[in-house]
Copies of this chain bind each other. A is one copy, B any other.
Amino acid sequence: MKKIWPVILSGGSGTRLWPLSRTRRPKQMLNLGQDISMIAATVARASGANFANPVIVAGDTHEALVKEALAGTALQALILEPTARNTAPAIALAAHMIAESAPDDLMLVMPSDHLIADEAAFRAAVASAAPLAEDGWLVTFGIEPDRPETGYGYIEAAEALSERGMRVAKFHEKPALEKAEAYVKAGGYYWNAGIFLMRAQTYLDALGANAADIAEDAAAAWSGANTTGGVIRPDAERFSACASQSIDYAVMEPADRKAVVPVSMGWSDIGGFEALHAVLPQDADGNAVIGDAMVEDCRNTLVWAEGTLAAAVGLDDIVLVATEDAVVALPRTRAQEVKKIVERLKADARRETEDPPKPR
């Protein structure tokens, strides 16, 4: 088996978990129900004998944050994007690096801000995907759905290609509830978790075939990169010229040889406070009470206190998140609407959307 190069994408705007997450403290820098930050956990779960040191691709404004979060971890490289251009160009930079250094190896593309409870299941899925990837398939990992979630895209599987791998019939956008229910009922549909395994050259070839402009601009940005002490800065002008497209849209959907390996591994993208509540330890009444927080006669609440004291009394299904400089309260099932507050604050150029709170 070839070495696997973890490529960890550290983007994120810090909107969905505001005020915990901020522009200058994105979700992957937080400890969300773990002892370590999400990005450090992502690095840790893809380490060991079969793995190369990780390649991190991050926004250049997050350089210090990434270094701090991964202090003590040997990195293969830290690639800094001069501007955010979504995942297709970001992965292209890492693919160029790996294709040059170790053309036979594989790259494992992972978001830095997902939770995976069962790391053994994750590594087993990666191992079983490796032969397909070596054989030139673009492999994605499909999460076995346990509910008709409308917040994720779905991967429809076709015939088997290996013991666990199947050809991808089609990627489906985030569905309406009825469609999601039909997918779950039918079986053979999996959540798209944004985790991919492939040879670097396979990716670059597929990008060139399906999004030639991005491929060209990313290649030029890579050629013009400036490397200092393990930190790689691609050419800003050429990188910024890349169209802002996801790997799903630019590569996976149009590609021919794409496979899915289903996996059940306690995965969550913690895409909002409802998802965060679901993965946190809860009391007998379903309350997740974190930090200097307390509840009295509450059920199914999330009360999170950081740098301040927070208390809830007599509330059901409410999220209360308090930091040193900002507090938000909303129904758990409408927790995505915290975005509306962030939008209003950004329109007012409020620093609370940008800067992390100060420790108490």
Contacts and interface: CB of A to CB of B under 8 A. Distances in A.
Interface of A: 19, 294, 296-297, 305, 308-315, 318, 320, 322, 324-331, 334, 337-338, 340-341, 344-345, 350, 352, 360
A22 to B, nearest CB: 12
Contacts of A297: 337
7 nearest interchain CB pairs?
Answer: A313-B330, A322-B327, A309-B326, A311-B341, A310-B327, A314-B334, A313-B337
Nearest to A301: B329
Given A314-B334, A322-B322, A334-B314, A327 B341 contact: no
A143 to B, nearest CB: 29
Q: How many copies does the complex hold?
A: 2
Contacts of A345: 309
A284 to B, nearest CB: 18
A328 B350 contact: no
A345 B313 CA distance: 14
Nearest to A318: B329
A294 B320 CA distance: 15
A308 B325 contact: yes
Contact of A330 (B19, B312, B337, B340): B312
A62 B344 CA distance: 41
Contacts of A325: 308-309, 360
B314 A328 contact: no
Contact of A328 (B311, B340, B352): B311
A314 B340 CA distance: 11
A326 B310 CA distance: 6
24 contacts: A19-B309, A294-B344, A296-B341, A308-B322, A308-B324, A309-B325, A309-B327, A310-B326, A310-B327, A310-B329, A311-B327, A311-B329, A312-B329, A313-B328, A313-B330, A313-B338, A313-B341, A314-B330, A315-B318, A315-B330, A318-B318, A318-B329, A320-B320, A324-B324
B331 A315 contact: yes
A355 to B, nearest CB: 12
Contacts of A309: 19, 325-327, 345, 350, 352
Contact of A294 (B19, B312, B341): B341
Instruction: Kindly name the residue among A315, A345, A360 whose own CB sees the greatest number of chain B CB atoms within 10 A.
Output: A315
A314 to B, nearest CB: 5
Contacts of A327: 305, 308-311, 320, 322, 327
Nearest to A331: B314
Contact of A313 (B296, B308, B315, B334): B334
Contacts of A320: 320, 327, 329
Contacts of A334: 313-314
Contacts of A313: 328-331, 334, 337-338, 340-341
A206 B26 CA distance: 69
A309 B308 CA distance: 12
B337 A296 contact: yes
